[in-house]
Structure 1
């Protein structure tokens, strides 16, 4: 699924950014996100198709600056939670402006004749909401876990994985369910 490539900077950051390596994670996330934005724009992708990539470029640019200016920042242990706070903000923000971040991605995979239908929009509202809820729950969970047990690596990894896998699986399945229901209703 092409849309999931936009999460690559976040995944790479999650792998690299252990407690002592958050600077390298931030720099690597920024380089990958920026490369994705440049490649996508040069290939003709619209801005609404690369919301996650653009959001990643901004986040990792800011995080890189913070990590270089204040390498021992009190934010360091909360990197995983900050990622999910930012992603939740991106998802909820896209909903607030009535442009769910999944809409542009979905348009690359759906026939043009359904792009403007209420059902297409509704499906993307639901999918974006699932991502937003997953990121929000992960942010809250990780904040509490990291505050209580900063070295609870297994729990942190589990929360990170679930916060991507659950909405990704939902994203893959939900449109098929909606199509089946619509076909059955005819």
Structure 2
């Protein structure tokens, strides 16, 4: 499987949660997200992948473990309607946090697609910092937008889906496009 596709596969727990979870059934979405995240982490570790290649998968395992516990302990929590926003708050925190510690979450994935001689170059790090920043910004915009929409109109399903799709598709397209542009410029 290509590294880019494998990188996107890391988002599968989040996507499955988005599809399954509804206001009343966030428990099933959380459980499904947790099971898929744990399966991805286990498969990646068995395949010999390093932890820095699995930041999103590991983050998903932590998030869905906490969300599963919360959703089972308090199925009617006041947070229930904000599930889509909570996902993006967590993902934004993961992305911004990885930038804050100087290890953009895309670095591990990018290393699987680039020759080893470029891994330690400032350019490689800068490209991944920019890509991670785009993801972090998209997650932040999604978190804020979804919080506002869900607060004003909790049943605006079409708008919620549109926000989710746009704020995932835009950084995914940028991630595929940007490294090629940088390569052409040099």
* Over 4 Å off, 4+ runs: none
Correspondence for 2:70: 66
| C-alpha separation in 2, matches of 1:13 and 1:169 | 22
Name the structure 2 match of 1:132. 136
Give yes or no for the alignment of 1:97 onto 2:101: yes
Name 2:30's counterpart in structure 1.
26
Aligned to 1:99, the other structure's residue is in SS state coil
Q: Give me the whole-angstrom Cα distance separating, in 1, the residues matched to 2:61 and 2:164.
A: 20
Matched length:
182
Normalised by the length of structure 1, the TM-score is 0.97
Q: Does 1:53 align with 2:57?
A: yes
Mind listing any 5+ residue stretches in structure 1 that lack a counterpart? none
Q: Pick one of 55, 75, 89 that aligns with 1:85.
A: 89
Name the residue aligned to 1:6: 10
Cα offsets for 1:134-170 (capped at 9, x unmatched): 0000000000000000000000000001111000000
Q: Distance in 2 between matches of 1:17 and 1:95?
A: 29
Aligned with 1:119 (options 108, 123, 133): 123
The two structures, once aligned, show a CA RMSD in angstroms of: 0.4
Q: CA deviation at 1:56?
A: 0.1
Q: How far apart are the structure 2 equivalents of 1:163 and 1:25?
A: 20
Using the size of structure 2 for normalisation, the TM-score is 0.97
